[in-house]
Structure 1
Amino acid sequence: MADQNAQTKPKRNAFSRFLDGVEWLGNLLPHPVTLFAILAAGIVVLSGIFGWMGLAVVDPRPAGAPGVADDGMIRAVSLLNGDGLRRIFVNLVDNFTGFAPLGVVLVAMIGVGVAEKSGLLSAAVRSMVLGAPKHLVTVAIVFAGIVSNTASEVGYVVLIPLAAAIFYALDRHPLAGMAAAFAGVSGGYSANLLIGTIDPLLAGITEEAAQLIDPTYTVLATANWFFMVASTFLITLIGSLVTIYIVEPQLGEYDSSRADETILDKSMMEPVSPIEKKGLRWTGIALLATLGVMALTIVPEWGVLREPGNPDPMDSPFFDGFVVWILIFFMVLGYTYGRVTGTMKTDRDVIDAMSEALASLGLYIVLVFFAAQFVAFFGWTNLGAITAVSGAEFIQNSGMSGPLVFVMFILMCALINLSLGSASAQWAVTAPIFVPMLMLVGYSPEVIQAAYRIGDSSTNIITPMMSYFGLIFAWALRYDKDLGVGGLIAMMLPYTLFFLILWTGFFVLWTFGLDLPVGPGSPTYYGQ
C-alpha cells in the first residue's frame, strides 16, 4: 500500500462527479450556525403540525419501563403552544450549558492548550512522522482513531486535529489527515480491540429487549468482542485505502492561503533540536509517572476511582470522568516539556496557553448554542423516536428473512442515525422491536446488536446530528475558511459508502457464511 499525495486534481470520473454534486448540493445550505437555527425553528413548526394531527406510534418498550406513557403510545409533542413555548424559554440556557460535548471539549482543550503552547505537540509530531515511512502514517492514524474510542472522547478532541497537523508536516493535505482520523474515531465507533464504555451500555439495552422473549436471558458487555476486534482491522484497511485513493486525490493540492495562518507553523517541517529532544525525554518520564498514577486508581481493587462494590473496572468513575484524565495528562506533559525547554517559566505562561486554547473555540461555542437547541427540541417532540419505530415496523412487515433482513436492518439503522445521533437513544427505541422479532425467527440478541452497531457507526461521519460534528467542522474551517457543510459531507461520504457495503458484507460472511460467534458465548442463532 502506498500513499498517493496528489498535487493536482485528477480527471473527474463518475464517482468524483458524484461527490462534486454532493458537495455542490450541500454547499447550497447556509452556514452551519444558521442551519441549526433554521432546523430548531423548523422542528417547533413541525411539532405543532404533527401534534395537531395527533401523530403517534405504539411504544415497543414494555409497560412500566422508564419513559413509557400510560397508554403505551409515543406521541408527537407540540412546542407550538403555550406549554411548549414556556418550556423553550425556561430551558434555553440549560440546553446550551447541558450539551454534553460542550463541557468535554472545553475541559479537554484547557489541557491540550498547555501542551500546544509549550511546543510539545509540534515536537512530538515532528519526532514521530518526519522520519517515518509515509505509507504507514495513514494506516496508523485510522487505527489510532478506532482504538481511541476506548478512552471516550480523546479521539475527537485530540487525535483529529493532531492528524491534520501530521499530514501538513508531511506536506500532504491536512483535511485528508483529519478525514482519516474522523473516519476511524467516528465511522469505526463500534470497532475496537478492547471493551469500551459503549459496550456495557448497549448490552444492557439488548438484555432488557431479549427478556421480553426469554426472562432469564443475559447479554454480556463482551457480546460483540470477537467481531469488533476483527472489524478493527477491516475498518483500518478500508479507511486507509479510501483516504489514499479517493479522498486525498479528490482534495488535490493544498492551498495554504485558505487557512488560518496561526495554525500553519512552518517550523513543523524543521528537525527536532537538541533542547526539544531533552524536553521529550523528560516528558517521557512524566508520561510514565502519570500512567502509573492512573493505574493505581483503577487496577487494584482498592483503586480510588473504582466503584465501591462493583468488580467491573469498566463501570467506574475512572471511565465516566475520563475527560479529567485528558486534562491532567496534557497539563502535566505540556508543563514538563515547557519547563525543560524554557517555553513555560511561570504560571502566567500556563494561564495564557489555556486562554488561547479556549479563545480558538469561539465559532464552535456559537454553533453549539444553536445545535443544542435543535437536539433538545427534537428530543422533546418525540419525532426521532417516531421515525425509528416507523422504520422498524416497515422492515418487520416486509416479510424478509435471513441475510437480507439483516442488510435491510443495517441500512435502516444507518438512515435513522442521520436524525437520531445517539447510539444508546436509537437502540433503546429499536431494540425492543428487533431483538424479540429476530429472536422469534432464530437469531441471537448478540448478533442483532452487532448488526445494529454497523449501521449506527457508518453514518456518524456525515450527519450534523452527531454530537461532535460541529467541532470537526470548526477545526476544518481553520485549514479551509471556504469549506462548507457540503464539502465536509462530500469528503466523508466515501468512507460511509465503503464502510456500509464492505462491513455489512463482512458481517454476512462472519455470521451466515462461516457461522462464527460474534463474541464469547455469542452464537449466530438463538438457543444454539
Structure 2
Amino acid sequence: MASKDTALKPQKKSVLEKFLTGVEVVGDKVPHPAVIFLILIGVVMVLSVIFSVAGASATFQSANIVTGEIEDVTTKVRSLLDADGIRFLFTSMVTNFTNFGVVGVILVAMLGVGLAEEAGLISALIRKLVLVTHPSMITFVIVLLGVISSIATDAGYMVLIPLGAAIYHSLGRHPLAGLAAAFSGVAAGFGVNVLITPLDGMLTEVTNEAIHMMDPARNLDVTANLYFSIASTVLVAIICTVLTDKFVEPRLGVYEGPSAGHEDGVISLEEKKGLRWALYTAIGIAAVVLLLSLPSWGPLRNPDTGSLIVAAPLLESIIFLVMIVFLGCGTAYGLGAGTIKNSMDIINPIVKTFANLAGLIFLLLVIAQFIAYFAYTNLATVGAVGMADWLESSGFGPVPLLIGFVIVTLIIDILMPGGLPAWAILAPIFVPLFMRLGIDPEAVLAAYRVGDSPMNIVTPLMPYFAMIVVFAQKYRPKSGVGTIVAMMLPYTVVLVVVWTAFLVLWFVTGIPWGPAS
C-alpha cells in the first residue's frame, strides 16, 4: 500500500528541470520576435552613439586589396544617428532586405517542398523510412542526416527539421522531440560533415587571406579539417541522439495532440506507384546533373579551375536543385498516386505555401534591417579585436588560448550566427595572432567550428530561428521563443563542453586535422 501511495505522488523536479521550465516560461512571455528585433535595433542605435562618442576603435593588421601588402587598419564604431548613419537608415532598407540571402533560400526551397508535402510525397516517404529503419535508430538517423545536410547549405532547415517532427509524430512519439533532434543536427552540427561542403570552401578562402598576412606562401586546402570534421560529425550525432532520447523527449512528456494517422505505417498501392514514379524522376534529375558536372567540359564546374567544389556552380546551385528535386518528384508522385490531376493541383499548393510564409517574410524583413545596422556600426569588429588583445596579453598557453577562442566565438555567435560572417571578422584577427603564438591555422579553424555551431540552436538572432518556432506551433500552438530555447539549451551546453574537450584532446595528441596537415 505504501508503495502505491508513493507511486501516486508527483515526481519532484530536479534543479535542471526547474531551470529549463523557468527559461521556457520567461521566454514565452517575451514579445513577438519581430518586436524583439525592433527593440534590438533601438539598442544597437543607442550603443553605436555611446561608443562612437567615446571614440571606441580597434587597430589590426589586414592585407591591402590592391597592393596585397600588410598594413594596419583602424576600425571605429560608427553611429547610426549621425548624418551618415541617418542617411544609411533612410536609403538601405530595400537593399538590406533584397540582399538578405535567407529570404531567397526559403522562397525557392519551399516552392518545391510545399508541393511535395501537399501532394503526399513527404508523408509517404516518412512512413517508408519508418518501415525500413529500426525504431532504436530513428533518432540517430535523423540527427546524422541533419549534420550531413550542410552539403546542401541551408536546405536542411526547410526539409529535415519539419521532417524530423513529422517522423516522430507518425511513430506516436512527441513531434517536438523529433524537431529538436533534427534541429540539433542541422544547426548545432552545421560546421562539420563527413563530406566537403560549400561552407568548407568559403571558410578556407577566408582563412587563407588571413594566413597571407603572416606567410604569403602558405595555403590551406578545403580538406584542412577533414579528419577532425568526420570525427566531430560522429561525436555530434551520438551526443544529440543520447540527449534527445534520454533527456529532451522524457521532459516533453506524452504528446496529447491529434495522431498523425497511418499509425500502422501501411503504404497503399497508389502511394507505392507514386513513390516509384518519384524515384524514377529523382534518378532522371540526378543523371542530368551528373552529365552537367562530371565531364571536364561540364557547365556546373568552375569555368576557370574545373573544380566541382571551390566556387563551383554545382555547389552554388544546391538550393535550386533542392527545389527541382522536390518539385519534380512531388509532381511525379502526385500523378502516380492520383493526388494531382491537373495543373491547378500543382499551382494551388505552391500559392498556399507562399501564403503560409507571409508572417515569416515580414519577420525576415525586420531581421535583415537589424543585421545590416549592426554590421554598419562595426561594434562586432571592435569587440572581437578587444577580446583578441586580451587573449594575447593574458600569457596563456596554447590549450587555454584555444579554449578562450572557442568562448569568444560562442559570444560572437550569439549576435552574428551563420558560419561565414563571424569568421570573416574573426579570421583576420585571430589566425595571424595565433600563428605568432605557435598555433597552426588548422587548429584555429577547427576551434572556430566547435564554437560557432552549438550556439545556433539557442540564439533567437539566428535567421531560421523564427521558422523553427513556426514549425513547433504546428504541434504545440502556444510554442514561442522560450519553448525552443529551453528545449535546445541542453544540447548547446553538453556540445560545448564535450566538443571542446574533444578539440583539446585532438590538439594535444597531435592527430592530423586533415590530409595535408
Q: Contact 2:60–2:74 (CA<8 Å) still a contact in 1? A: yes
Q: Deviation per CA, 1:429-470: give whole Å up to 9, x if none.
A: 222232222222322111111111100112111112222222
Aligned ranges 1:338-349 → 2 under 5 Å: 338-349=334-345
Alignment of 1:287 onto 2:282: yes
2:296 aligned partner: 301
2:79 aligned partner: 78
1:5 aligned partner: none
Q: 1:280 & 1:407 partners in 2: Cα distance?
A: 49
| Distance verdict in 2 for CA 1:17–1:303, change over 3 Å | same
2:221 aligned partner: 220
Q: 1:156 & 1:202 partners in 2: Cα distance?
A: 20
Q: 1:65 & 1:27 partners in 2: Cα distance?
A: 50
Aligned ranges 1:329-344 → 2 under 5 Å: 329-344=325-340
Q: Deviation per CA, 1:222-281: give whole Å up to 9, x if none.
A: 100001011111111001001111111121122327xxxxxx753466521111111111
| Aligned partner (choices 421, 438, 455) of residue 442 of structure 1 | 438
Could you tell me which runs of 5 or more consecutive residues in structure 2 were left unpaired when the two chains were aligned.
Answer: 1-8
After TM superposition, the structure 1 stretch with the greater mean CA deviation from structure 2, 36-45 or 338-347, is 36-45
SS of alignment partner, residue 72 of structure 1: strand
| Distance verdict in 2 for CA 1:256–1:372, change over 3 Å | same
After TM superposition, the structure 1 stretch with the greater mean CA deviation from structure 2, 375-384 or 479-488, is 479-488
Aligned ranges 1:30-109 → 2 under 5 Å: 30-63=31-64, 72-109=73-110
1:278 aligned partner: 273
Q: Contact 1:44–1:78 (CA<8 Å) still a contact in 2? A: yes
| Distance verdict in 2 for CA 1:9–1:70, change over 3 Å | farther
| Aligned partner (choices 388, 391, 395) of residue 391 of structure 2 | 395
Q: Contact 1:146–1:192 (CA<8 Å) still a contact in 2? A: yes
Q: Contact 1:203–1:220 (CA<8 Å) still a contact in 2? A: yes
Q: 1:337 & 1:389 partners in 2: Cα distance?
A: 54
| Aligned partner (choices 471, 488, 497) of residue 475 of structure 1 | 471
Q: Which residue identity is paired with 1:467?
A: P
Q: Contact 1:307–1:317 (CA<8 Å) still a contact in 2? A: yes
Q: Contact 1:224–1:519 (CA<8 Å) still a contact in 2? A: yes
Q: Contact 1:205–1:431 (CA<8 Å) still a contact in 2? A: yes
Alignment of 1:380 onto 2:376: yes
| Aligned partner (choices 501, 505, 510) of residue 509 of structure 1 | 505
Q: Which residue identity is paired with 1:85?
A: I
| Distance verdict in 2 for CA 1:65–1:467, change over 3 Å | farther
Q: Contact 2:418–2:456 (CA<8 Å) still a contact in 1? A: no
1:525 aligned partner: none
| Distance verdict in 2 for CA 1:137–1:9, change over 3 Å | farther
Q: 1:380 & 1:165 partners in 2: Cα distance?
A: 40
Q: Structure 1 residue 161: deviation in Å?
A: 0.7
Q: Structure 1 residue 371: deviation in Å?
A: 0.9
SS of alignment partner, residue 18 of structure 2: helix
Q: Structure 1 residue 321: deviation in Å?
A: 2.0
Alignment of 1:412 onto 2:408: yes
Aligned ranges 1:72-471 → 2 under 5 Å: 72-130=73-131, 132-256=133-257, 265-267=260-262, 271-314=266-309, 315-471=311-467
Q: Deviation per CA, 1:58-97: give whole Å up to 9, x if none.
A: 134245579x999721111111133322221222122223
Q: 2:293 & 2:194 partners in 1: Cα distance?
A: 19
Q: Contact 2:172–2:263 (CA<8 Å) still a contact in 1? A: no
Q: 2:58 & 2:180 partners in 1: Cα distance?
A: 38
Q: Which residue identity is paired with 1:246?
A: F
SS of alignment partner, residue 75 of structure 2: strand
Question: Aligned pairs, how many?
Answer: 508
1:493 aligned partner: 489
Q: 1:31 & 1:296 partners in 2: Cα distance?
A: 47
SS of alignment partner, residue 39 of structure 1: helix
Q: Which residue identity is paired with 2:353?
A: A
Q: 2:65 & 2:119 partners in 1: Cα distance?
A: 55
| Distance verdict in 2 for CA 1:27–1:155, change over 3 Å | same
Q: Structure 1 residue 52: deviation in Å?
A: 2.1
Q: Deviation per CA, 1:16-39: give whole Å up to 9, x if none.
A: 122223223323421111111111
Alignment of 1:24 onto 2:19: no
Q: 1:126 & 1:304 partners in 2: Cα distance?
A: 37
SS of alignment partner, residue 77 of structure 1: coil
After TM superposition, the structure 1 stretch with the greater mean CA deviation from structure 2, 160-169 or 244-253, is 244-253
Q: Contact 1:10–1:249 (CA<8 Å) still a contact in 2? A: no
Q: Contact 2:147–2:233 (CA<8 Å) still a contact in 1? A: yes
Q: Which residue identity is paired with 2:298?
A: G
Q: Structure 1 residue 188: deviation in Å?
A: 0.5
SS of alignment partner, residue 302 of structure 2: coil
1:526 aligned partner: none
Q: Contact 1:395–1:405 (CA<8 Å) still a contact in 2? A: yes
Q: Which residue identity is paired with 1:83?
A: D
| Distance verdict in 2 for CA 1:338–1:64, change over 3 Å | closer
SS of alignment partner, residue 415 of structure 2: coil
Q: 1:503 & 1:304 partners in 2: Cα distance?
A: 40
> What percent identity do the matched residue pairs reach?
40
Root-mean-square deviation (Å): 2.2
Alignment of 1:519 onto 2:481: no
Q: Which residue identity is paired with 2:444?
A: I
2:3 aligned partner: none
User: TM-score, length-normalised on structure 2?
Assistant: 0.94
Q: 2:71 & 2:79 partners in 1: Cα distance?
A: 19
Q: Contact 1:297–1:305 (CA<8 Å) still a contact in 2? A: yes
Q: Contact 1:461–1:492 (CA<8 Å) still a contact in 2? A: yes
Q: Structure 1 residue 283: deviation in Å?
A: 1.4
Q: 2:281 & 2:263 partners in 1: Cα distance?
A: 23
Q: Which residue identity is paired with 2:36?
A: L
SS of alignment partner, residue 57 of structure 1: strand
Could you tell me which runs of 5 or more consecutive residues in structure 1 were left unpaired when the two chains were aligned.
Answer: 1-7, 258-263, 523-528
| Distance verdict in 2 for CA 1:268–1:391, change over 3 Å | farther
Q: Structure 1 residue 10: deviation in Å?
A: 5.8
Q: Which residue identity is paired with 1:171?
A: G
| Distance verdict in 2 for CA 1:71–1:411, change over 3 Å | closer
Q: Contact 2:60–2:429 (CA<8 Å) still a contact in 1? A: no
Q: Which residue identity is paired with 1:151?
A: A
User: TM-score, length-normalised on structure 1?
Assistant: 0.92
Q: Structure 1 residue 312: deviation in Å?
A: 1.5
Q: Contact 1:286–1:333 (CA<8 Å) still a contact in 2? A: yes
Q: Contact 2:146–2:184 (CA<8 Å) still a contact in 1? A: yes
Q: 1:122 & 1:300 partners in 2: Cα distance?
A: 36
Q: Which residue identity is paired with 2:31?
A: P
Q: Structure 1 residue 311: deviation in Å?
A: 2.4
| Distance verdict in 2 for CA 1:9–1:200, change over 3 Å | farther
